Amino acid sequence: MELSVVIPTLNGRDHLAGTLGVLADRAPDAEIVVVNGPSADGTTGMVRDRDDVDVLVEVSDRTLNVSRNAGIRAASGDAVAFLRHDLAIEETWPEAIETGLSDSAVATGPVHETLPAGMTTTEPESREIRGRSITYFNGGNVAFRADALDELDGFDEYLETGGARDAAHRLAGAGYDVSWQADMCVQTEYEADGGVSERDHGWKYRALTYRLVKNYGLRPTIVRRIVTHAGADALVAAREVLAGDATPSGWVGTGRDVVVGIATGWSDGLVARARDRTTARNPHGCSKRADRAVAKYDWR
């Protein structure tokens, strides 16, 4: 198996340098593709000064799925792994990928992250939607057989968030399995600051509605799932208002963002479903454009 490792990065020079160093030590035979951009912290110079990166692709878009697709285009292996730029692989990672892909089209594993309160570890996650068994994966630690990526046409560039979950739905629709490999471990090499980022509820529900409508169409179960998610978030927000942690005007504003996000995702999901009726369900995929890269450095 010839493995390509795609690492999307944006203003993460120091963390990326650590990740690359561990990869060079623990997966020396892998082809390394870094997709950068548009960073403003000297990432380009740092990567170009190294001798353990095979390809550097510079992109102008800030969207993660654009970077992933640019990496797919540059990779030459018959297996393609995606690794978050601030995660270090453990020694068992390369062998676990080979084991997982020997039986399944996709392999994933645990992500260990250090927080002030302790270590968190992702667990296998799956659910059934309309008779389809969906196995989700962390987009920062996943490997695909190249033929499966080709059939999916990569990731959906419409999505600013939720691209990995959308790919999980499409994999299931195409009949592909996702293998969980406990030895396919990655971890942060530093302690996260524990800060809480503000969630964009508009995009959260736009992405959720888009991928469900695009993949399953107009179904009562889909409507119920969206409403259930929105209701749960509304209840949490109401409790925050009652506790004095949020304002009523903020709660109303969030509700407006949710409604707009659902409406936009619903409309765009129907359009996407009509535009691509194949099992790929990806009208914004890898093959749809050739202008992602603004520069490419290939040392192979």
Q: What is the pLDDT along the chain (300 residues), one digit of tens a residue?
A: 999 999 999 999 999 999 999 999 999 999 999 999 999 999 999 999 999 999 999 999 989 999 999 999 999 999 999 999 999 999 999 999 999 999 999 999 999 987 766 678 889 999 999 889 999 999 999 999 999 999 999 999 999 999 999 999 999 999 999 999 999 999 986 544 433 344 688 999 999 999 999 999 988 989 999 999 888 888 887 888 778 878 888 778 888 999 999 999 999 999 999 999 999 999 999 999 999 999 999 999
Cβ–Cβ under 8 Å, residues 71 and 135: no
Helix (H), strand (E) at residue 19:
helix 13-26
Whole-number pLDDT of residue 194: 38
Phi, psi of 295 (to 5 degrees): -160, 150
Side-by-side strand order, sheet with 79-83: 178-180, 106-108, 141-145, 79-83, 3-9, 31-36, 55-59, 293-298
Ramachandran quadrant class, 131 (left: phi over 0; alpha: psi -120 to 50; beta: rest): left
Paired tokens of 297: 């450095």
Q: Is the dihedral of CA 20, 23, 24, 29 positive or negative?
A: negative
pTM assigned to the model: 0.93
How many Cβ atoms are within 10 Å of 123's Cβ, its own excluded? 7
What is the crossing angle of helices 163-173 and 64-74, to 10°?
60
Asked if 156 and 284 count as a contact pair (C-beta separation under 8 A), the reply is: yes
Which residues, listed in sequence order, are joined to residue 216 by a DSSP beta bridge? none
With b for 16 or more beta-carbon neighbours within 10 A and e for fewer, the 43-58 pattern comes to bbebbeebeebbbbbb
Q: Are 4 and 70 contacting, i.e. CB atoms less than 8 angstroms apart? A: no
How many CB atoms sit inside 10 A of residue 282's CB?
Answer: 25
CA dihedral sign, ordered 240, 127, 183, 75: negative
Question: Which secondary structure element, helix H or strand E, spans residue 294, and what is its range?
Answer: strand 293-298
Task: State the angle between helix axes of 248-275 and 220-242 in degrees (0 to 180), rounded to the nearest 10.
Answer: 160
- Structural domains in the chain? 3-195+283-298 (3.90.550.10), 201-275 (no CATH)
pLDDT of residue 192: 44
Q: Which residue has the tokens 């969030």?
A: 254
